[in-house]
Amino acid sequence: MKIETLAVRAGHRVDPATGAVTTPIHLSTTFERDPDGGYPRGYLYSRNASPTREALEQCLRDLEGGIAAAAFASGSAATLAVFQALAPGDHVVAPSDAYHGTLRLLREVLAPWGLETTFVDMTDPTRVAAAVGPRTRLVWVETPSNPLWKVVDIAGVAALAHEAGARCVCDNTAATPVLQRPFELGADLVMHSTTKYLGGHGDVMGGTVITRVDDDFFQRVRKIQGSGGAVPSPFDCWLVLRGIQTLPYRMRAHSENALAVATFLDRHSGVEAVHYPGLPRHPGHALAARQMARFGGMASFQVRGGRERAMAVAAQVRVFTRATSFGGTASLIEHRASIEGAGTRTPENLLRLSVGLEHVDDLVEDLAQALGGAP
């Protein structure tokens, strides 16, 4: 089935008890046992499994084309579960420009636990090849990457991981399964922050790990989900399920609007550089055109005149909202270096845009008036 159909149908079924067409929110934390102590419907206690979460997991599994999915309370909880499914002493290769929360987990939580990580520029496959070794168990890929939207060759990195006997995990948050299909490119697991485009409305946090094969590794992720308990509430699951129904249509509009905004910025004399994979001069453009169906809703630009000028532009917007995160209907603008804090490698004159679903003319006009001067 096509992704538009899966987005509306996968995981949903008419409730057999009531005939309700919309998936119910089951709040019960506990479930009745049969007189013999069994629980043939599969539910015992909602940390381990619950009907609304199961509906979401089936939907996520089918959208990504995997065999099973585990839903978490945030993208970061999903990320942590993947790394905790490894063992102390294992080695990981991760991108030096991974999501800053992922970098923080690896450096501040998992390194003390015994996981060793080598951080590399994954746009250069020779760096990945040089970094993998006999103890490498996992190669983490994130593409397009934040905030320069660099593009990594998933198939190339997955092949290098497999040669080394390691798994390849792809953080597919920025692209979504609508625009990028990591399993078809060789990834073994896919991770999402459903807080972003899958939820899609800036009103729910969540994460997921989806697997191509239901093996021991995924069973460990499942165990961490159920026994660690970083699980989404039934209402959170329902909100993500509801958001996903319009995901394919939203991703088209986000991508169209972002391309138009990036093209406008690229021609503006007050802009030093634009980072959007849909622009032909972006270093990852050719690869993105091969690997992605469209180029997504995220773009960044560097303002001529440095940090002060960038802050001034962000202060002038009227339609965009100054806020972090992305993937909602409302357009956001963010001075990324400030949010990442000390040690950031993000240029100080960079503003990141989450291009939303407002009319593109209003978005371009807003940036034009905020930038001022000749367009």
Ligand X SMILES: *Cc1c(COP(=O)(O)O)cnc(C)c1O
Catalytic residue IDs: 47, 99, 171, 196
Shortest separation between residue 258's beta carbon and ligand X, angstroms = 15
Rg of the chain on CA atoms, in Å: 21
Shortest separation between residue 240's beta carbon and ligand X, angstroms = 11
Which part of the chain contacts ligand X (CB under 6 A), choosing from 127-135, 192-200, 245-253, 285-293? 192-200
- Closest residue by Cα to residue 204 from 68, 43, 62, 52: 52
Which part of the chain contacts ligand X (CB under 6 A), choosing from 12-20, 30-38, 95-103, 222-230? 95-103
Q: Pick out residues in 240-299 that bind ligand X (CB under 6 A).
A: none
Smaller CB separation from ligand X, 56 or 370: 56
Contact map string, positions 52 to 81, toward ligand X, x by CB under 6 A = ----------------------xxx-----
Q: What is the DSSP string of 246-275?
A: THHHHHHHHHHHHHHHHHHHHT-TTEEEEE
Which part of the chain contacts ligand X (CB under 6 A), choosing from 99-107, 121-129, 254-262, 302-310? 99-107
Shortest separation between residue 334's beta carbon and ligand X, angstroms = 12
Shortest separation between residue 72's beta carbon and ligand X, angstroms = 9
Interface residue with ligand X, options 205, 258, 288, 313 (CB under 6 A): 205
| # binding residues, ligand X (CB under 6 A) | 16
DSSP type of residue 365: H
Contact call for residues 172 and 180 (beta carbons, < 8 A): yes
Q: Is 181 left (phi over 0), alpha (psi -120 to 50) or beta?
A: beta
Can you tell me the distance from the alpha carbon of 13 to that of 243, in angstroms, rounded to the nearest whole number? Answer: 17
Interface residue with ligand X, options 68, 69, 148, 174 (CB under 6 A): 174
Interface residue with ligand X, options 171, 188, 334, 366 (CB under 6 A): 171
Q: Pick out residues in 117-156 that bind ligand X (CB under 6 A).
A: 142, 146
Which part of the chain contacts ligand X (CB under 6 A), choosing from 41-49, 157-165, 167-175, 248-256? 167-175
Smaller CB separation from ligand X, 140 or 264: 140
Phi, psi of 306 (to 5 degrees): 85, -170
Q: What is the DSSP string of 285-321?
A: HHHHHHH-SS--SEEEEEETTHHHHHHHHHHH-SSSE
Smaller CB separation from ligand X, 66 or 75: 75
The encoded tokens of residue 66 equal 């995997």
For residue 15, CA distances in Å to 12, 24, 323, 352 come to 9, 7, 39, 43
Smaller CB separation from ligand X, 324 or 369: 324
Contact call for residues 146 and 277 (beta carbons, < 8 A): no
Interface residue with ligand X, options 52, 84, 195, 291 (CB under 6 A): 195
Smaller CB separation from ligand X, 151 or 205: 205
Cis peptide before 147 (omega within 30 of 0): yes
Give Cβ neighbours of residue 101 (< 8 Å, ≥ 6 apart): 75, 76, 79
Smaller CB separation from ligand X, 158 or 371: 158
Interface residue with ligand X, options 23, 123, 136, 193 (CB under 6 A): 193
By three-state DSSP, how is residue 50 classified? coil
Which part of the chain contacts ligand X (CB under 6 A), choosing from 168-176, 242-250, 255-263, 331-339? 168-176
Regarding 101 and contact with ligand X (CB under 6 A), the answer is: yes
Contact call for residues 137 and 166 (beta carbons, < 8 A): yes
| Interface residue list for ligand X (CB under 6 A) | 74-76, 99, 101-102, 142, 146, 171, 173-174, 193, 195-196, 205, 207
